[in-house]
Amino acid sequence: MNNKNLLWGILLALAIAAFLSPFASPSPDGLERVAEDKGFLHLAEGKELLRAWMPDYIFPGVASEGLATALAGVVGTVLVFAAMYLLGRVLVRSKDNAGTRQTRCS
């Protein structure tokens, strides 16, 4: 995968997060629906163990819900890319000591 393709890929991901996520169906997903129908959805209520920055994919402090969702999507997409990239660098770097490929660290 060359750099141009990677750029297209990340732009596509950002475009989906920014422009499609505000139009996502608000209906419950499969598990949520089953939990509702079978009467165990309440078990999740009041069990929150952490206070997330953007609960329900809503960027805080933005009046427009569509914009708040788009912002949360863009921030999340960047965070996921960064986390995966850094994790990948760490994992692969540990291998490079074996001297199989170009290395920057050994």
Partner 1 sequence: MHIPDGFLDPKVWAGAYAVSAGALAAAVARTGKVLEQRQVPTLGVMAAFIFAAQMVNFPVAGGTSGHLLGGALAAVLLGPWSAGLILTTVLVIQMLFFYDGGVTALGANVLNMAVIAPWVAYGVYRAFNPLVKGPVGRNAAIFVAAWLSVVAAALACSLEIALSGTVPLKVVLPAMLGWHAIIGLGEGLLTVVAVAYVARLWGLELPERKLTVGGQPQ
Q: Which residues bind partner 1 (CB under 8 A)?
A: 1, 5-6, 8-10, 12-14, 16-17, 20-21, 23-31, 33-35, 37-40, 43-45, 47-57, 69, 72-73, 75-85, 87-89, 91-96, 101-102
Residue among 31 and 63 whose Cβ is closer to partner 1: 31
Q: Work out how close the CB of 22 gets to partner 1 at its nearest, in angstroms, rounded to a whole number.
A: 9
Q: Work out how close the CB of 11 gets to partner 1 at its nearest, in angstroms, rounded to a whole number.
A: 10
Q: How far apart are the first and last CA of the chain?
A: 25
Q: Check if the beta carbon of residue 92 is closer than 8 Å to that of residue 103.
A: no
Give kind and range of the element (H or E) at residue 92: helix 65-96
> What is the token pair recorded at 15?
């475009």
